[in-house]
Amino acid sequence: MCARYRNSAIGGRVAESVLAILAFLLAAGIVTESPILLDTVPELLWIPLSILVPGLLALTVLVSVLAHGIRLGSAVLDSGDRIQPGDTAVTRILASVMLGILAMYTLWWVVASLYVHYLAPTGGVSPAIWPPLFGGVLGALVLIQAVFFQLFPEGPLSRLESLSAG
């Protein structure tokens, strides 16, 4: 694996983690109705901030899920050495599927909110509350996944197998 790929992968993980933290803090500020968050952010920036942060997080999660799927596909087709340690673990596959579904749902709400606010302004209740809430859940799950796979890079079952074999 070349150094350039490793550096870009690490940079992608850092960007995903930063976006996950921001999305989680944004959702926590909305749920708790934090006066610090709601009073300090100008109203002109509030809608784009509350929509774009979860949207960017959802896009990064979808890109990483797609990359995981391509690596799995190349392992199944035996068309290269793209597979990384732990890619075939059941927990990582389930995490990718779950995060991918939640990321698509979050991105759907982001697109709907952008459409309502900027392309077809209508009266009524704004759907802009949903992207930060789903983005906050997605951010929390991304952070939990990052910690989990730092502790168990090959999956938790491989750790149990190595303990029972030793």
pLDDT in tens, 104-118: 999 999 998 888 887
The DSSP annotation for 72-136 comes to HHHHHHT--S---TTTT-HHHHHHHHHHHHHHHHHHHHHHHHHIIIIIS--SS--GGGHHHHHHH
- pLDDT-based confidence at 6, cuts 50/70/90? very low
Among 16, 136, 4, 21, residue whose Cα is nearest residue 68: 16
**Around 122, how many Cα atoms within 13 Å sit in the side-chain half-sphere?**
11
* pLDDT tens figures, 56-94: 999 999 999 999 888 888 877 876 677 777 777 888 889
* pLDDT tens figures, 20-30: 999 999 899 88
- pLDDT-based confidence at 47, cuts 50/70/90? confident
Residue with tokens 């983005």: 135
- Average pLDDT, rounded, for the chain: 82
Task: Kindly tell me if the per-residue pLDDT of 166 is higher than 70.
Answer: no
Asked if 154 and 86 touch (Cβ cutoff 8 Å), the reply is yes
Among 88, 53, 51, 85, residue whose Cα is nearest residue 69: 88
- pLDDT-based confidence at 134, cuts 50/70/90? very high
State the amino acid at position 149 in one-letter form: F
What is the Cα–Cα distance from 12 to 56, expressed in whole angstroms?
12
Query: Can you give the residue ranges of every domain in the chain?
Result: 8-165
- pLDDT-based confidence at 13, cuts 50/70/90? confident
Among 51, 67, 54, residue whose Cα is nearest residue 23: 54
What is the Cα–Cα distance from 37 to 42, expressed in whole angstroms?
10
| Global pTM value | 0.83
Asked if 151 and 83 touch (Cβ cutoff 8 Å), the reply is no
Task: Kindly tell me if the per-residue pLDDT of 10 is higher than 70.
Answer: no
- pLDDT-based confidence at 139, cuts 50/70/90? very high
Tell me which of 40 and 143 has the higher pLDDT.
143
